[in-house]
Chains A and B, each alone.
Chain A
Amino acid sequence: MNTSYLHFFKNKRFWLSGPATLLVSLFFMFAMAVWFPPGIGNVNNIMMPLIMFPLIWALLFFYTYLTTDLRKAQWLLVILFIINSLILTFQFLG
């Protein structure tokens, strides 16, 4: 921990657990507003993504940080990113 302070920038796990996880969590939250059932109160699709965001981020963060199979974690993030991007694209353009 003392040897090199900038060493982690070269680490693939840092990029996966850091920026990639944050980006995917944000896209997941935004897309949830589209697919989550609004319920009879018509507010669940607004409130639940906001409430779930820290949980989604924490789950993805700990998974990508602790997994021994980085390739699997990378593909999981890519798949989640593509699915949520498609949902958002259809919402705005479809």
Chain B
Amino acid sequence: MSLLNLSVSELGRGLRAREFSSVELAEEALERVDSLDGKLGAFLRTTPELALEQARAADRRLAAEADPPALCGIPIGHKDVLCTKGVETTSGSRILEGFRPPYDATVVARLAQDGAVVVGKMNCDEFAMGSSNENSAFQPTVNPWDAERVPGGSSGGSAAAVAARLAVATLGTDTGGSVRLPASFCGVVGVKPSYGRVSRYGVIAFASSLDQVGPLAKTVEDAQLVLSSIAGPDRRDSTTSAAPVGDLARALQEGVRGLRLGIPREYLAAGLEDGVRGVFESACRWLEAEGAELVEVSLPSTQYALAAYYVIAPAEVSSNLARMDGIRFGPGEPQAPSLLEAYELARNRGFGPEVRRRVALGTFVLSSGYYDAYYLRAQKVRTLVAQDFSRVFEKVDALISPTAPTPAFRLGERTQDPLAMYATDALTLPANLAGISGLSVPAGFTSGLPVGVQVLGPYLGEAMCLRVGAAVERAADVWRQVPAGFDG
């Protein structure tokens, strides 16, 4: 059995007991990627030299330090929207091919400081725009549980790699569900921290007011360990919260007895597949059995959230992606007869269709004469969505729902219908609009496909999410299940 089936704390015990070294662990991860990722497509590139160098340093630290960090020597992967110094970082886009950032994202630097070992960069939808990973300019990633299905997106590579045991944990980014959705589809844990809990410095922006970096891992505890490493104020990101992170580990043991958990009526509306409903209802029964009180609540603005999201996010995209102008990034168009044509050619060739669609949409909604009708109105809806959550969190400690209305869908099933693709995120994106905390935890299977439960907590309520998530995880007891073909 592969070492990569073990949790971070199990691996930590093995590393400290010298049962295996960090270098051996990294080598095993890299070998698994070499032999198994061909059918998965989770990695855009591996970083063997960096990994072995970091693993050797981790081994020295494990030998020298009395109490090395929990992540010391643990193989991880970074979604390719995270800047890694000297390592190509493309955001899954042609236009950034060959871009080697001269600096590390804050989250990358913090994990490196804690001794984590980077084995590679994870595939994703181009600039994190997508719900299926089919928008990567380089390759699709498939779902490890069913190669004909999508892994979810946009952090599909990050989720698939953890599920297939090619990395112990990975980082993803969640702008409208991009960590939680693939976590649900691939049967792993994914955390979307509150807006401002984790630094965005060095995260290639999709929608700046919505993006958050979050961990994907096999267990809630593993996810907590990664979150504890990356969370907290960063003077390079003015939107980070100054509030201390506190001890998140304690939450895992606290149980749900006495908690009031809300079930948003609107999240169980039409479109929810029976199999998903079944898994969710079992999770509800487990939580009640553990002593939680379940109450139905209403988030009435939910029906407008998707539309507001698809105004605000593209508006920010149209501005954030303006720097990809072909002059400093991408192949460039030096033969273009004019500056305008050079921009047009570079961006038409460099961006895929979904990115172009969102740039066009965002440019439109910010245009003079349309700003009030679209962008301003969407911001008002955003405020209403946030108020919905504030109101219910006065009455309940956390919210639970399915993470997505369906399990992983088939490759190609929604690529021709952007609206159907956008609807995939209907249950996850309100949390991004409101800036609150959330996670997805595996709760069972339907027809052999994983189903995740979403836990939403208040702003900076990561501990509450982890507490409820850990309870679901204990009751579901599915995290040791490995997809066929990756269980070697």
Do the two chains bind? no
- Interface on A for B, CB 8 Å cutoff? none
Question: Which residues of chain B have a CB within 8 Å of any CB of chain A?
Answer: none
